[in-house]
Amino acid sequence: MMYLDNSATTKPFPEVLQSFMKVANDYFGNPSSLHGLGMQAERLLTQAREQIARLLEVKPTEVIFTSGGTEGNNLAIKGVAWQHQQRGRHIITTTIEHPSVTEACKQLEQLGFQVTYVPVDERGIVSPTHIEQALRDDTILVSVMHVNNEVGSIQPIEQIGMLLKKYPKVLFHVDGVQGAAKVPLHLKRANVDLYTISAHKFHGLKGAGVLYVREGVRLSPLLSGGAQEMQLRSGTENVAAIVAMAKALRLSVEKYHEASARLEEMKRALIERLQAIEDIVVHTPFEQSAPHIIHFSLEGVKSETFVHELEKQHVYVSTTSACSSRKKVPSKTLLAMGVEKPRAERSIRISLSYEQQMEHISIIVEAIKRAYERLKIVARGTK
Active site residues: 323
Strands (E), 235-337: 280-282, 293-298, 315-316
**Cα 63 to Cα 109: distance, rounded to the nearest angstrom:** 29
CA pair distance 226, 142, nearest whole angstrom:
30
Phi, psi of 161, deg, nearest 5: -60, -40
Name the E strands within 71-230.
Answer: 90-94, 114-118, 139-145, 171-175, 194-198, 209-213
Rounded Cα distance, 92 and 236, in Å: 33
Beta bridge partners of 92: 116, 142
β-strand 280-282 against 293-298: which pairing, if any?
antiparallel
Q: Are 343 and 296 in contact (CB under 8 A)?
A: no
Instruction: Identify the DSSP state of 62.
Output: G
Contact 116, 133 (CB under 8 A): no
List of residues 6+ apart from 131 with CB closer than 8 A: 92, 118, 142, 144, 160, 163
Q: Is 74 in contact with 222 (CB distance < 8 Å)? A: yes
H or E segment and range at residue 341: helix 341-344
